[in-house]
Amino acid sequence: MLIAVALATVFAAASVGGGLYEFLVVDPFWPKRPDLIQPARGGISRKRFWIAIHVAFEVMLIAALVFAWSQPAVRDPLFVALASHAVMRAWSGLDFIPKALAFERADPASISEAKALSWTRRSRLRLPLDLITCGGMLTAFVAAARLG
């Protein structure tokens, strides 16, 4: 149980780190230079990181829930992490991902800087959900470590 919870916690922390990287390093610049986020034009491929990290986290979170099912002190914070992550993923899937893919495919000259700036500002609002997820995972990890 501890290994599954620990790995899921590491992946949750990596997700927070990836969000901070985008917020601090990528988002301040790409609205003026859309090619920075367009892999076809030599820009970064955000999919490579985000697909891998989300799949790894979700698989390990499910494994952690299975292993910790009989331990409420571990299971309950895992459910908090699951709920906040599910909200963030649903919101991303319905709003952010389709728009990000459109920005990646569009001719850079056709991208409205105002729309890009609006996307980056709204994207920051996902960070608190990632922090809740990470907090739930850290709480579950501490509880699992105390049991083990």
The whole-angstrom separation of Cα 116 and Cα 27 is 9
Full-model pTM: 0.92
CB-CB contact of 117 with 99 (8 Å): no
Residue 148: per-residue pLDDT: 76
Report pLDDT digits (tens) over 60-114. Answer: 999 999 999 999 999 999 999 999 999 999 999 999 999 999 999 999 999 999 9
Domains identified in the chain, total number: 1
Per DSSP, which regions of 79-144 are E strands?
none
Report pLDDT digits (tens) over 127-136. Answer: 999 999 999 9
CB-CB contact of 82 with 61 (8 Å): yes
The whole-angstrom separation of Cα 89 and Cα 119 is 16
Handedness of CA 99, 102, 104, 106 (dihedral sign): negative
**SS3 label, residue 38:** coil
Domain that holds residue 89: 2-147
